[in-house]
Amino acid sequence: MTNEALIPVIGVITDIRKDTPDVKTFRVVTPDGKKAFEHMPGQCAMLSIPGIGEAMFSITSSPTNTEFMEFSIKKCGCVTSWLHACEVGQQVTIRGPYGNGFPVTKDFKGKNLLFIAGGIGLAPLRSVINYVRANRADYGTVDIVYGSRSMDDLVDFKEIEEEWKNEKDFNVYLTIDRPQEGWNGHVGFVPAYVKEVNIPTDRTAVLCGPPIMIKFTLQALLELGFEKTQVFTTLEFRMKCGIGKCGRCNVGDKYICKDGPVFRMDQLEELPSEY
Amino acid sequence: MKKIAYKNLDLLYKEIAGAQELYLPVKVAKATNFKKYEDGVEVDIKSLQTVKSAKDLFFPQSEDMMEFKTSGKNIEIIDARKTPAPFVLFGVRGCDLKSFEILDRVFLAEPVDTMYKAKREAVTVVTLACNNPESSCFCKVFGVDASNPKGDVQATIVGDEMFFEPLTEKGRALLDSLKCLEDGDATAVEGEKKAIAEKIDALPFVNLDLSEFKGENLMKLFDRPEWEDLSKACLGCGTCTFVCPTCQCFDIRDFQTNAGVKRFRCWDSCMYSEFTKMAAENPRKNQMQRYRQRFMHKLCYFPSNNDGEYGCVGCGRCVKKCPQSLNIVKVIKKLGGKNND
Amino acid sequence: MQEMNNEKRPLIVAFCCNWCSYAGADLAGSSRLSYPADVKIIRVPCSCRVNPMFILKAFQRGADGVIICGCHPGDCHYTTGNYYARRRMSLLFSMLDYLGIERERTRVEWVSAAEGAKFSAVMNDFASKVAALGENKRLEDLRCKE
Amino acid sequence: MQRIETAMIEKAKALLSSGEVTRVLGWKKGELGYDVEPCVFKSEESLKDFCYNVFCGANLSKYLVEESKKEGKILVFLKPCDSYSFNQLIKEHRINKENVYTVGVECQGKVDPYKLKENGIEMVDSAVETVDTVTVKGKEFKKEEIILGKCLTCTKKPLSYDDIISFNEKREPVLDRFETVKKLEAMTADERYAFWKDQLSNCIRCNACRNVCPACTCTKCVFDNDNSGIASKANSDSFEEKLFHIIRAFHVAGRCTDCGECSRVCPQHIPLHLLNRKFISDIDRLYGEYQAGEDTDSKGPLTNYTTGDVDPSDVFGGNN
């Protein structure tokens, strides 16, 4: 944690990779080339450009990667549009890590895992998937169901094809919403595909994507026989301080930025429906 | 126990202000607020309450945090936080002092807010008992004793004299350093304290029933239909949150100056429509949800995170200042419990 | 204020309407009529495009005087633009005066495209009056003053 | 005054039971007597909490912007000052009239709770009112001592209604509404600057004046727009408050009906109506008498012009 919670440090963007028409992955290090701070998979950081604003992004690189931090950012607001327009070498300010991150050492330990992502929802999951790959022995089989609007909207497509598919006991199921020439994989929405693949119910599932996808995928999992205590998700909410004091992300008696953003589905039920 | 004649209070202010900064209720135009003491200011400790609470001294309405100088692609961060000089806060009422304890639970919890902490350590608080509480006061409901407002030094006005009881080391050191004070006997204030206690017991809102407001009833309270009628007339302005001594919400914003960017922290209000606005949508679209969030946070969410301590101190500012007379008392009377009506 | 060859000079912002006073400024330039360099011209399509927020933001950013130039009433390229601007600016400057801001810091002038001489005369006169008043202390934003 | 309240409740009950209106917008009793609250009554039985007394200072017309969008007709009681705001909102097409049934009610000045407190009255169970006096807890006050600032100068007369409850007892205004404006104009620039510097430095940016003002009904206010560069919540130094109040007064110039709500609700008691009244007195002086809200079709002074308008330089000798 930086010495004072709200005071950022300088970060330099050393590489910008264009994944999809509206998603770019930025690699950030401190000016002297090191990682800004240590973090757990699923945690987030506040990136900001002076004068434009500050926004919370999940760290998509795995904690085992010690050279840099990566953020996959979709262009949808002031800060994100500005980032999409800037070039390599641009300095930004960064502070964090914030949030509780995925329980990789507790609930996931020694379990079979199921990752279900939609569109940019893969970004937070990528950090935990690569963490699992780096500590492969601690975890069981891993199924990944990932869907997007179209083929070129699949984030990190190269890494999925070349690395994840050849990993031991890694079953990767990709889908796109509508048929597209040059794509011979599955076509259809993620919730339907999950039911089709009929994944055994001993998995601990992690969901991340647009709220509508989470709603229907959760229903699909419950129909397959999953328990709510087996399913995790990360919540998308407006955050400003990141340390549970500024009140923005207060839902019920929880602060999404401090007590979340990763929640188990049964915990989500205890929250009033304001998210 | 020390004392001074009421008419020589100016000497006391001058003496304190000589040694360190002194903040006390000062009347400017038609409103009394905590301001720095300077010669010629109109000190007003007669009026019961300031408009903005004393929280403004520790968690100011806006406060510079840092400044950025950008040249080309590079950024330079200049720390703009000022370390506060020791200061005396005079004339704080019991409710405001209790609000410091509630704000401490927020800003001194991990990770500690160093700006707030520095100011809290630099202050010596001289509280003042409320000789005539108003009908909108209900501090007793939240465990505040207006006749013994605590703090570093406890002052009470009896007749035409003011008596000072030191309660902490800091308080004793301050009183000992003041030459214009004489020794007073401790029994002189007993009578006034009893009178204050009786006045408080006669107030209309003194026995509000809060039994329903606890963590376990969160979902039940959240879904109560009465929120619709309670919030009907709410204008969505920020008055109740900006006069409230325990509201903690803030915003961090950038201001483009001619020579760089200043990043500052300023108060924010959950009653404003933009408070939870996200790029995609706004989870609290209508005013009922915002209104419910404000009072649920004070009466249900905050206690369930802070072992039962409510987020309200019963100062009555929202009762007096709401443009349409909506306030926390009406919420408590409607949802608080059976023997409210 | 602004720093020019290391002495403090007043900063004047002139909103000039594109069809008349901006052309007047061009004419003043081309006929070698000088006016102080402190005047910074902002071209606007019409004098009624000037929003009161622009004027106050100019003062916030350090302007010491703001002048609005437009076509003579009746000659407006958009026929009624300067009529509205005339009412709007009269009320706004009267309000600034009501709040205690010195009257000479704000002004409205009608300069046609042919009046290069008038343009430079007006600017010289206005700049000297603002310089006489000194720095704008009553509508300044301390955060913008280093 | 008591008879007006009973007449209003009967009218509301009649219209509700006949089904002509589905809801009634009025005032509801509070806990301390003076804390009367605007409220929408949906049933005859809920009208037991309805009240109309000396504490109903709130202007109800702005609620109709949202309420008239809902289906079903709503009955609203409008004091004379509220009715000018109502007409102005009709002129600006912010209220669709066919969903609203207006009933004008007589008003002889509403009490300012703060002035009551200054006179030592803490709780009010009942207030007996006559044209010139209010008796509270056995103490009789002359109206001039304790009524709201906006009522002291009120010359408003009931305007066009669907119905009216009035016993034509009208109180004469005690004060010319431009008196303080003239006093300020007579001061020197330094004195005026000092006066407004003190007043505006108290502003806590709570937006109560904007959110209560019937003329301020933009769906998205420029001060809520993040990328307008206006840090709408920071009262970081003296400029932000001046910018906010000058621009807010300007945006309602020519549309402000002088209903006085901004000064009633300001928690710091800043006399904001003096800003709007300055614009009104300038408009009357320069462009002819104009009272916003008096009719629903005339062009406002700032959306109108005459070729012979006074030149800005002669308004106060701009280039002297």
| Per-residue pLDDT tens digits for B6-21 | 999 999 999 999 999 9
Q: Which residues of C touch D185 (CB under 8 A)?
A: 98
Q: Averaged over A247-261, what is the pLDDT?
A: 91
Query: Whose CA is closest to A106, among A202, A37, A204, A38?
Result: A204
pLDDT of D320 over the 60 cut: no
Superfamily of domain covering A9-98:
Translation factors (2.40.30.10)
At residue D315, the pLDDT reads 80
The amino acid at A274: E
Cβ within 8 Å of residue D46, ≥6 positions away: none
**Does the pLDDT of residue D318 top 60, yes or no?**
no
Rounded CA separation B300/B295 (Å): 8
Q: Could you give the angle at which helices B94-107 and B114-122 cross, rounded to 10 degrees?
A: 140
| Sequence-ordered strand ranges (E) for chain D | 23-28, 37-41, 74-78, 100-105, 127-129, 133-136, 139-142, 163-165
Q: What is the pTM of this model?
A: 0.93
List CB contacts of D200: < 8 A, sequence separation 6 or more: D238, D241, D242, D245, D270
For residue range A182-224, list pLDDT tens digits in order. Answer: 888 899 999 999 988 888 888 999 999 888 888 899 999 999 9
Is the domain spanning A113-234 CATH 3.40.50.80? The answer is: yes
Residues ≥6 apart with Cβ < 8 Å to B162: B3, B4, B5, B6, B9, B155, B156
Per-residue pLDDT at B341 exceeds 70: no
State how far the alpha carbon of D138 is from the alpha carbons of B159, D2, D306, in Å: 28, 17, 57
Can you give the pLDDT at residue D231? 61
**A24 touches A84 (CB < 8 A):** yes
Asked whether residue D234 carries a pLDDT value surpassing 90, the answer given is no
Mean of pLDDT values over D200-210: 93
The stretch D17-37 carries a mean pLDDT of 92
Listed in sequence order, the residues at least 6 apart from D231 whose beta carbon sits closer than 8 Å to its beta carbon are: B62, B253, B255, B264, B266, D240
> Which of B257, B261, B262, B266 should we substitute to test contact with C (largest number of C Cβ atoms within 10 Å)?
B257
Rg from Cα positions in chain A: 18
| CA–CA gap between residue D125 and residue D135 (Å, rounded) | 11
Per-residue pLDDT for A102 more than 50?
yes
Give the count of Cβ contacts less than 8 A between chain A and B: 106
The string of DSSP codes covering D72-121 is S-EEEEE-HHHHHHHHHHHHTT-S-GGGEEEEEE--S--B-HHHHHHTT-
List, for chain C, all residue ranges whose pLDDT scores fall below the cut of 50: none
For chain A, give every domain's residue range: 9-98, 113-234
Helix residue ranges, H only, chain B:
9-19, 94-107, 114-122, 169-177, 188-201, 218-222, 226-230, 239-243, 287-296, 302-305, 317-321, 328-335
**What's the pLDDT band for D172 if we cut at 50, 70, 90?**
confident
Q: What per-residue confidence (pLDDT) applies to D232?
A: 67
Residue B281 pLDDT > 90:
no
Closest residue by Cα to residue A231 from A201, A275, A256, A270: A201
Q: What angle do CA D90, D95, D97 make, to 5 degrees?
A: 80
pLDDT tens string C37-64? 999 999 999 999 999 999 999 999 999 9
Paired tokens of C24? 């007047």
* Angstroms from B272 CA to nearest CA on chain C: 23
B181/chain D closest Cα distance in angstroms = 32
Reduced DSSP (H G I as helix, E B as strand, rest coil) percent helix, strand, coil of chain C, to 5: 45, 20, 35
Distances (CA, A) of D262 to A45, B235, D183, D207: 42, 13, 21, 10
Torsion, Cα A162 A167 A170 A175, to 10 degrees, reads: 0
ipTM of the complex: 0.92
Please state, in angstroms and rounded to a whole number, the distance separating the CA atoms of residues D210 and D248.
8
Cβ–Cβ gap B269/D206 under 8 Å: yes
> Which residues in chain A are contacts of D233 at CB distance < 8 A?
none
Q: Which of C56, C98, C108 sits opposite D318 (nearest CB)?
A: C108
Residue D90 · residue D64 · CB < 8 Å: no
Residues of B in contact with C62 (CB under 8 A): 258
Torsional class of D34: left (φ above 0), alpha (ψ -120 to 50), beta (otherwise) = alpha
Establish whether the linkage from the previous residue to A261 is cis, with ω within 30° of 0.
yes
In DSSP notation, C32-65 reads T----TTEEEEEESSGGG--HHHHHHHHHTT-SE
**Cα D8 from Cα D12, distance rounded (Å):** 6
* CB contacts, 8 Å: D267 with chain B: 31, 51, 239, 242-243, 321
Q: Is D114 exposed, middle or buried (0-12, 13-18, 19+ CB in 10 A)?
A: middle
Q: Which residues contact A156 (CB under 8 A, 6 or more apart)?
A: A19, A25, A72, A122, A126
Domain C2-132 has CATH 3.30.70: no
How much is the pLDDT for D211?
A: 95
Is the pLDDT assigned to residue B184 strictly greater than 90? no
CA B27, D181, D222, B258 dihedral sign is: negative
| C12-17 vs C39-44, strand pairing mode | parallel
Are C89 and D309 in contact (CB < 8 Å)? Answer: no
In chain B, domain spans: 2-201, 215-340
